C-alpha cells in the first residue's frame, strides 16, 4: 500500500467515525458540524464571543490529505471567537471546548468554505476534518490597556452601538470579591453614569455593545471607583470590580453633523458646566468626556458669524485648558501637552496653557522645555510666583540630572580604564613569559644527532 493510499484510508476511517459517533453541535441541529472529544480539557470554563483564543490545529480533506497545520509552523493560531474571522464551523466548535481539550470536527461545506472553496488547497463544496487543541483563551481587552475586559455571554442584535450622550436602558449586576453589591435596571446618559453610581468603565464599554447584548465586564480600579471607592456599596479604594450588563435598549445622541451651530454652542455651555462639576468632585475621566464633546462639536466648525466664532473659540480654549488639567490629574502627560498646544494655538500667550504645559513637561523630565514654558509665563505675568518657584525646581532637577549623568559616565570610564589596565597588564605578562621561554630555548644545547 502506498503512502497516499494509507493516508486516504486513514482519512476515510476518521471521517466515517465522526459521521457515525460525532455530536451535532450546530444551533439548528442540521449535522453541519460534528464533534468528538479526543482529550478532555482540564478546566470547566469555555471561551465566549469576542475572546481571544489560542489553538493548534491540523486540517484535512475528507480523503485524508492534509492542507494546513499550525504545528508544522510551530506557531499557535490566534483569533477572536464569534467575530467571523474564521470559518463558521470553528466559531461554533471552539466555543464548545475547554482549555486543554483536543477534539475532532467534521465540517460540511456550508460551515466551511462552501461552493467557492479556497483554491488551490480546498476544492469547491469540500467537507473538512480538523483536529483542534484549545491552548488558552482570554477576554477581549476593549481599550488595549488591561482596564476593561469584556466576555460576551449573548451576542447583541444588529451593528449599531450607543454613542457618547446616548440614552441607554440597561440591567446590571455588580460584584466585588464574589459579593453582589448592586442589582438593578437603570436608564441614564452615556458619559454620565457616575450620577447613578455607575463606574466610568460601564460608560466606556456601552459604546462597544449592541442592543440585547449580555456581557461580563472586568474593571480595573481606574475604570471602577478608583481611589475614592464607593462607601455606599461598601467598595474600598482601588478595588477591582466585575459587572454583568445587559443593554436592553438605547437611543443615540445627535451626532455633530446633525446639530446646527446655535445648538452646538448651547450644548457646549451645558457640558462645560457638567465637566466642571465632575472635575471638582475628582471624577476626571467623566470630566474628560464632557470637555471632549465641546472639541468634537466646535473644532472643525466653519462658516460662523463673527459673534459665533468668538464664542466657539472661547469654548474651545476653555475645553483644551480644562482637558489639560484633567490629563495632568490622570497622569497622562503627553495628552496634557497636546491639549496645551491646542490651547496655545488659539492664544499663544495664554498663561494657563503655558503653565500647564510646563507642569506636564516637568513631570516627563523634560526640564529644559519645562523651564522655557515657565519663563514664558513670567513674560506674560511677571508676578506669577508659582512659575518662579517651578523654574527653581527645573534648575535643581537639571543639576541633579547632570550630576547623576556625570557619576554614571565617571563610573563607566573608570570601569573601562580598569578593564584596559587589566588587559594591558595581561599582555605585558604574556610578553614577558614568551621572552623567558625564548631565552631558555636559546641557552639549551642541541643534542648530538638530533635536530
Of 116, 124, 14, 133, the residue nearest 66 (C-alpha): 14
Active site residue 68: yes
Q: Is position 198 annotated as part of the catalytic site?
A: no
DSSP H helical ranges for 22-101: 70-73, 88-94
Helix/strand/coil for 399: helix
Residue pair 121/66 in contact (Cβ under 8 Å)? The answer is no
Contacts of 146 (CB under 8 A, 6+ apart): 220
Residue among 67, 181, 233, 372 flagged as catalytic: 67
From the candidates 87, 122, 202, 294, which is the catalytic residue? 87
The overall longest dimension of the chain from CA atoms, in Å, is 118
Handedness of CA 160, 165, 170, 176 (dihedral sign): positive
Query: Measured between alpha carbons, how far is residue 252 from residues 162, 188, 224 in Å?
Result: 6, 12, 24
Active-site residue, from 57, 129, 137, 327:
57
Is 159 among the catalytic positions? Answer: no
Is 315 an annotated catalytic residue?
Answer: no
How many angstroms separate the Cα of 364 from the Cα of each of 155, 294, 348? 43, 27, 22
Q: Is there a catalytic annotation at residue 214? A: no
> Is residue 230 helix, strand or coil?
strand
Q: Alpha-carbon distance 191 to 327, whole Å?
A: 17
Grid coordinates standing for 392? Answer: 527653581
Bridge partners (DSSP) of residue 56 are: 133
Start-to-end CA span in the chain (Å): 72
Burial of 7 (C-beta count, 10 Å sphere; 0-12/13-18/19+):
middle
Surface-to-core class of residue 175, CB atoms within 10 Å of its CB (0-12 exposed, 13-18 middle, 19+ buried): middle
What 3-state class would DSSP assign to 79? strand
Q: Is 51 a catalytic residue?
A: no
Half-sphere exposure of 217 (CA within 13 A, CB side): 30
Beta pairing class for 128-138 and 52-61:
antiparallel
Indicate which residue of 113, 223, 225, 250 is catalytic: 113
Q: How far apart are CA 209 and CA 192, in angstroms?
A: 17
Cis link prior to 120 (omega < 30° from 0)? Answer: yes
Task: Please list the residues that pair with 101 across neighbouring strands.
Answer: none
Task: Indicate which residue of 68, 136, 141, 195 is catalytic.
Answer: 68
Of 25, 51, 122, 130, which one is the catalytic site residue?
Answer: 130
What distance in Å separates the CA atoms of residue 90 and residue 204, rounded to the nearest whole number? 30
C-alpha cell at 241: 470590580
Give whole-number Cα distances, 227 to 174, 231, 242, 314, in Å. 18, 11, 17, 33
Query: Residues with catalytic annotation?
Result: 57, 67-68, 87, 113, 130
Amino acid at each position: 500500500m502506498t503512502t497516499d493510499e494509507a493516508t486516504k484510508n486513514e482519512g476515510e476511517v476518521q471521517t466515517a467515525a465522526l459521521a457515525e459517533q460525532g455530536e451535532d453541535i450546530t444551533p439548528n441541529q442540521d449535522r453541519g458540524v460534528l464533534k468528538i472529544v479526543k482529550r478532555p480539557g482540564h478546566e470547566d470554563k469555555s471561551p465566549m464571543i469576542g475572546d481571544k483564543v489560542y489553538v493548534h490545529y491540523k486540517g484535512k480533506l475528507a480523503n485524508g490529505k492534509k492542507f494546513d497545520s499550525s504545528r508544522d509552523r510551530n506557531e499557535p493560531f490566534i483569533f477572536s471567537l464569534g467575530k467571523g474571522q474564521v470559518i463558521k464551523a470553528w466559531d461554533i466548535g471552539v466555543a464548545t471546548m475547554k482549555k486543554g481539550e483536543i477534539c475532532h470536527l467534521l465540517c460540511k461545506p456550508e460551515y466551511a468554505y462552501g461552493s467557492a472553496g479556497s483554491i488551490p488547497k480546498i476544492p469547491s463544496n469540500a467537507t473538512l476534518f480538523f483536529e483542534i487543541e484549545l491552548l488558552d483563551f482570554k477576554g477581549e481587552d476593549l481599550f488595549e490597556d488591561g482596564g476593561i475586559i469584556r466576555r460576551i455571554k449573548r451576542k447583541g442584535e444588529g451593528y449599531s452601538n450607543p454613542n457618547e450622550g446616548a440614552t441607554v436602558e440597561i440591567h446590571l449586576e455588580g460584584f466585588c470579591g464574589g459579593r453582589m453589591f448592586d442589582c438593578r435596571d437603570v436608564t441614564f446618559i452615556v458619559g454620565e453614569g457616575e450620577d447613578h453610581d455607575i463606574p466610568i468603565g460601564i460608560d466606556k464599554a456601552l459604546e462597544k455593545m449592541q442592543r440585547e447584548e449580555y456581557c461580563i465586564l472586568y474593571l480595573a480600579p481606574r475604570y471602577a471607583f478608583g481611589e475614592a471607592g464607593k462607601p455606599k456599596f461598601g467598595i474600598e479604594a482601588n478595588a477591582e470590580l466585575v459587572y454583568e450588563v445587559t443593554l436592553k435598549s438605547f437611543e443615540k445622541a445627535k451626532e455633530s453633523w446633525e446639530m446646527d451651530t446655535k445648538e452646538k454652542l448651547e450644548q457646549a455651555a451645558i457640558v462645560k458646566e457638567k465637566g466642571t462639576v465632575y472635575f471638582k468632585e475628582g471624577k476626571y475621566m467623566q470630566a474628560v468626556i464632557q470637555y471632549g464633546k465641546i472639541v468634537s462639536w466646535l473644532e472643525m466648525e466653519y462658516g460662523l458669524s463673527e459673534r459665533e466664532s468668538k464664542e466657539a473659540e472661547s469654548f474651545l480654549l476653555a475645553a483644551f485648558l480644562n482637558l489639560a488639567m484633567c490629563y495632568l490629574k490622570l497622569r497622562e502627560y503627553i495628552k496634557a501637552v497636546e491639549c496645551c498646544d491646542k490651547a496655545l494655538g488659539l492664544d499663544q500667550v495664554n498663561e494657563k496653557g503655558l503653565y500647564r504645559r510646563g507642569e506636564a513637561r516637568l513631570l516627563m523630565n523634560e526640564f529644559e522645555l519645562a523651564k522655557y514654558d515657565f519663563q514664558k509665563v513670567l513674560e506674560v505675568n511677571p508676578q506669577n510666583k508659582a512659575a518662579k518657584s517651578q523654574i527653581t525646581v527645573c534648575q535643581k532637577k537639571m543639576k541633579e540630572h547632570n550630576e547623576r549623568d556625570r557619576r554614571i559616565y565617571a563610573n563607566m570610564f573608570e570601569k573601562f580604564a580598569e578593564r584596559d589596565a587589566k588587559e594591558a597588564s595581561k599582555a605585558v605578562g604574556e610578553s614577558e613569559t614568551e621572552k623567558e621561554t625564548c631565552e631558555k630555548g636559546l641557552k639549551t644545547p642541541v643534542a648530538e644527532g638530533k635536530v
